[in-house]
Chain A
Amino acid sequence: MNNFREVAAGEKSLKRDYVAIMMWFMGRAIQAAATVDKAVKKEFMDMPDGFTFALCVMPNGPYMIVGKDQRGLVRYRGWDPEGKMIDLQMKIKNIEDAMLLFTFQESTALATARERLIVDGEVAQACAIVRILDIVEVYLLPKIIARLAVKRYPAWSCGRKYLGRVLIYIRTIFGF
């Protein structure tokens, strides 16, 4: 019997913290992009008022929650799902898979192909969210990294790319 033992699951706190911080940035950047970028604005316009989606890591977070309020404004709604009606959940199966995504070792497309993500909700809306995430990543990341994260690096005008990037960074950091 001395060959037997039980091991509790424990935590990977550093990785959770990293993912939580990246999600915080991402959430606020989406909020910013919904004001600054025409394409992101249009994607959100097609969604009903009150629509809320979450990107999260199984089994228990971290979470990124973004929603459209009743006036149609897109807001980052924090990391706590408690009490919130979430219409679309994109769940990453475990913290290591989340690390692969948030260190850009796997793009969203590759992560989907490798079954790292589960979509709980309408697929059509998930498609829109992935397009939004792609656009936000192009804004936030230098080209050399963004190219790993998105399938096709877009050919934007300088204005859109550089001015947009500055605006989104400012709005992300200051939260408006």
Chain B
Amino acid sequence: MDMPGYYEFCCRVKIISGHDALEKIPDTLAQLNAGRPMIVTDKGVVGAGLIDTVVDAISNGVNIRVIADDVPPDSDLRIVNSLARLYREKGCDSIIAIGGGSVMDTAKGINIIVSEKAENLMLFSGANALKRALRPMIAIPTTAGTGSEVTLVAVIKDHEKHLKMAFVSYFLLPDASIVDSRMTLTLPPAITAATGMDALSHAVEAYTCLAKNPLSDAHALAAIRLISDNLLKVTVNPGDRKGRLGMASAATLAGIAFGNSMVGMVHTLGHSVGSVCGVPHGACMAILLPYGLEYNMHKNGNLTAELLLPIAGAEVYAATPKEERAQSVIDLIRRMNQELYEATGGRHARFFRESLDRKGKEMVPKEKLPDIAETALRDGSIFYNPEDLDYDDFLMVLEAAWEGKPLNTFLIRRG
């Protein structure tokens, strides 16, 4: 294994995992000298009965001051501000965030405001603007997952000024993350598939991009193994508790991996498709992941090849000649998408042409691809991608991912 010339690694979040991890929350809060939490969540989580599960598990030990469930699917500065006011009004001393990426980001934003007594969240945007610890925060992810419960980043949109604010600081990491199988038991198959592939893309990109290091690699390998073992199982059988715990652990491991080693072009393009056409993040990741590996093959094919072991297991790895392993990995990921497509009755899209919204309308019209390519030029994750991409390269990948055809590797310009 090549030691990188320089790397940094940190995961300061306490991870509590199990089939009844929620019950540990009162003690955890007590150790942080807190006991009057505000619960931040969204209506989807409430509707799935998950808030009831949490409240039942913890209300003996803590005094839940308020449950705020109006976090929108996309983090919004107005909601962050209003919930911060609510936090103060109700005399809270800590935050419990229950949900996916948007809930986590919103909670992190609220925490900045209430801890720094800030009037304007903008003042703390950028890297390392925070100088000291925030109020205690516990994260309970309900997808498996975005990994945002273990990342030091929060992204909050100011819809009025059309700005996206990014906050980067180790102080944004929650004090603890509760990985409990009950929180993903009711996740519907299509979302299970999409969020599972999101976690896979995190692990794979962390392993194959420029900021990789031995520790994030180890986390990524474990995540990939757990996802290969469990994703299809829990998509087909949502009530598989062990499988759900496996996926939840995988999402945490993948979150830690990419939180430290960043991601590459799969996310660059995925963010752009999401922002231009509104396709959910996980769905974008699933479709684009094999393309990212294909595009970068001349630079990191040897790393991709190694992933055959956690994805397919020892026998397949040993039986596949070294020079064919990278392509096998790409083919297997495409096959995963195919199996998930079948397991979700066609709702898990294999390529962008079949990404449909709830009404059955096409979400990514071909005419939008140039816009998406243009947007991709503005995304910072491209720095970590092994190969360079300009507008034409982005468009080429998007066109292939739209049709569902493999990339023509002869057209890739090599650096």
A9 to B85 Cα, complex, angstroms? 44
A127 and B380 in contact, given A118-B127, A120-B126 (Cβ under 8 angstroms) = yes
Task: From known contacts A123-B166, A152-B414, infer whether A130 and B383 are also in contact, taking CB-CB under 8 Å.
Answer: yes
Cα A13 to Cα B387 with chains together (Å): 36
Partner of B8, one of A112, A115, A123: A115
The number of residues on chain A lying at the interface, defined by a beta carbon within 8 Å of a beta carbon of chain B, is: 25
- Give chain B interface residues in 126-177, CB to chain A under 8 Å: 126-128, 166
Closest 3 CB pairs of A and B: A152-B415, A124-B378, A152-B388
CB pair B380 A126 closer than 8 Å: yes
Cβ of B377 within 8 Å of any chain A Cβ, yes or no, is yes
CA–CA, A110 to B5, complex, Å? 10
Which residues of B are found within 8 Å of A110, using beta-carbon distances? 5, 210
* Chain A min CB distance to B163 (Å): 8
Contact with A along B376-413 (1 / 0, CB 8 A): 01111011100110000000000000000000000001
A37 CB to closest chain B CB (Å) equals 14
Q: 1/0 contact trace for A116-134 toward B, CB 8 Å?
A: 1011110110111011000
B128 near A127 (CB under 8 angstroms)?
Answer: no
The reply on A21 being an interface residue by CB < 8 A is: no
Chain B residues, Cβ within 8 Å of A127: 377-380, 382-383
Complex interface bits, A129-157 against B, C-beta within 8 A gives 1, otherwise 0: 01100000000000000000011110100
Contact B379 A114 (CB under 8 A): no
- Can you show 29 pairs from A to B with CB atoms below 8 A apart? A106-B5, A109-B383, A109-B384, A110-B5, A113-B209, A113-B211, A114-B6, A115-B6, A115-B7, A115-B8, A115-B211, A118-B127, A118-B128, A119-B126, A119-B127, A119-B380, A124-B378, A124-B379, A126-B380, A127-B378, A127-B379, A127-B382, A128-B377, A130-B383, A150-B388, A151-B387, A151-B388, A151-B415, A152-B414
Which residues of B in the span 188-237 have a Cβ within 8 Å of any Cβ on A?
209-211
- Asked whether any CB of chain A lies closer than 8 Å to the CB of B262, the reply is yes
Option from B126, B127, B383 in Cβ contact (under 8 Å) with A113: B383
| Interface size of B in residues (CB-CB distance below 8 Å) | 25
Q: Are B127 and A123 in contact (CB under 8 A)?
A: no
Tell me, rounded to whole Å, the shortest Cβ–Cβ distance linking A79 to chain B. 23
**In the complex, A150→B244 CA distance in Å?**
43
* One of A113, A121, A153 near B210 (C-beta < 8 A): A113
| B contact residues around A113 at 8 Å (CB) | 209-211, 262, 383-384
- Residues in chain B near residue A112, CB distance under 8 A: 383-384
The minimal Cβ–Cβ distance linking B287 to chain A, given in whole angstroms, is 23
For window 86-138 of B, CB contacts with A under 8 Å fall at 126-128
Nearest chain B CB to A64 CB, angstrom units: 19
A59 → chain B closest CB, angstroms = 13
* Listed residue (B384, B388, B414) with the most chain A CB atoms within 10 angstroms of its CB: B388
A108 vs B379: C-alpha distance when bound (angstroms): 16
Report A-chain residues with C-beta under 8 Å of the C-beta of B388: 150-152
| Contact status of A123 and B384, CB under 8 A, knowing A113-B210, A114-B6 | no
**B102: shortest Cβ distance to chain A, in Å?**
19
Besides the contacts A106-B5, A110-B5, A112-B383, what 9 more A-B pairs have beta carbons closer than 8 Å? A113-B383, A114-B5, A114-B7, A115-B211, A118-B127, A127-B383, A152-B413, A153-B415, A155-B413
